[in-house]
Amino acid sequence: MSAKKIPLYDLKLSRKALDEAEKTLKSGWLTTGSKVEAFEKAVARYTGVRHAAAVNSGTSGLVITLKLLGISSRKEVITTPFSFVATTEVILQCGARPVFADINPQTFNIDPDEVLRKVSPRTACILPVDIAGYPADYKSLSEISKRYKIPLVADACHSFGARYHKKSIPQVADAAVFSFHATKNLTCGEGGMVVSRHADFIRAVKVMSRHGMSAGAYQRQKANRWEYDVVNLGWKGNLSDVHASIGLGELESFDRNQTARKKIAHRYLKNLTSLADYLELPPVDEKIESAWHLFIIRLNLARLKCDRNRFINLMAQNGVACGVHYKPIYEFSFYKKMGLTSQSFPNTAFAGRRVVTLPLYPGLSLKDVDYVCEAVASIINKNAR
């Protein structure tokens, strides 16, 4: 066992975030209020899109977005089976049918040709995911969305700060949903944001996130009026001012953190290219700026004597925690009920057995990145075929 301990994630909140949270805790107003409003404005400004609604998680943001788009029984949503379970769960929570399209083997993102094959008269939404922070193929996806008049919603829970041909994700989709969960590259602890060019849509997200009430506690206090109406079937999805304060504080150091993430990712890429026969590295394209939420490698098992679990165990023995993003959704016990098999999704199945996520967070030193790479190289050298 190694004396070295490198976790998969390590969150160090900025001084500013801690101070902002403390101020809010002492302010006498903890629920949705001025801090949420300020956070919404700051995120909208950062993404270059006018309208944003804060929510208590990416999952809530996705449920509310889909429900507002009328996703319900007898409707279909085309998405990827290679994602966190929330992406599919929210479709089922709306009573609709998830229709999976296989992924591109290089980017791990949904393959637009497969999306095209799955479009039906019941398709009511296309829901790509920007895996690891690398944007999906929005050019092809928007062409399909426009041709068939199907809304394009980005599950952008990995990709705050990513750029696709210089544009932010909400600029290339009808709506984008971010997650600010504790493991994400921008965090409030738990939280999320729906961002869109469409003002009416974001207004509706805000109403729905407060149980369909025309005015929440903050608006009522400001207007000095107790009265409110309930205008539709709502959801409990509002973000608290405490969480928004953390997000606001963290946003100030976001660019610096992203620069650190990019440096770490490029160090991994440089150190690991010599192992190209044994593992594949994440894609790099000058027109795409990844948010580098995760660094996912794919083992070439045909050239190794160990399997993926053995590789991860050996990394752990070297003090390096690794993860798996993702096991295909249809392989989980509950989702086996969908009756889907690997044969229908060869690229997802192939990636699902081989991917390994290496540690990536702004506080990870380049010396530690080199250490991780040496551990990878030594395991590969001992297990090469």
Site residues, ligand PLP (CB under 6 A): 57-59, 83-84, 86-87, 129, 155, 157-158, 179, 181, 192
Complex with ligand PLP: residue 47 or 179, whichever CB lies closer: 179
Complex with ligand PLP: residue 158 or 206, whichever CB lies closer: 158
Q: Residue 96, Cα to own-chain centre: how many angstroms? A: 21
Complex with ligand PLP: residue 87 or 257, whichever CB lies closer: 87
Complex with ligand PLP: residue 58 or 282, whichever CB lies closer: 58
Give dist(CA 43, CA 50) in Å, integer.
9
Complex with ligand PLP: residue 133 or 362, whichever CB lies closer: 133
Complex with ligand PLP: residue 63 or 340, whichever CB lies closer: 63
Q: How far is the CB of 214 from ligand PLP (least distance, A)?
A: 26
Complex with ligand PLP: residue 47 or 57, whichever CB lies closer: 57
Name residue 181's beta-bridge partners.
189
Q: How far is the CB of 180 from ligand PLP (least distance, A)?
A: 7
Q: How far is the CB of 90 from ligand PLP (least distance, A)?
A: 8
Q: How far is the CB of 56 from ligand PLP (least distance, A)?
A: 8
Q: How far is the CB of 11 from ligand PLP (least distance, A)?
A: 14
Whether 186 contacts 167, CB under 8 Å: no
Q: How far is the CB of 190 from ligand PLP (least distance, A)?
A: 7
**CA geometry: angle at 359 spanning 358 and 360, to 5°?**
115
Task: State the residue number with the nearest CB to ligand PLP.
Answer: 58
- Provide the greatest CA pair distance for the chain: 74
Whether 136 contacts 270, CB under 8 Å: no
Q: How far is the CB of 80 from ligand PLP (least distance, A)?
A: 9
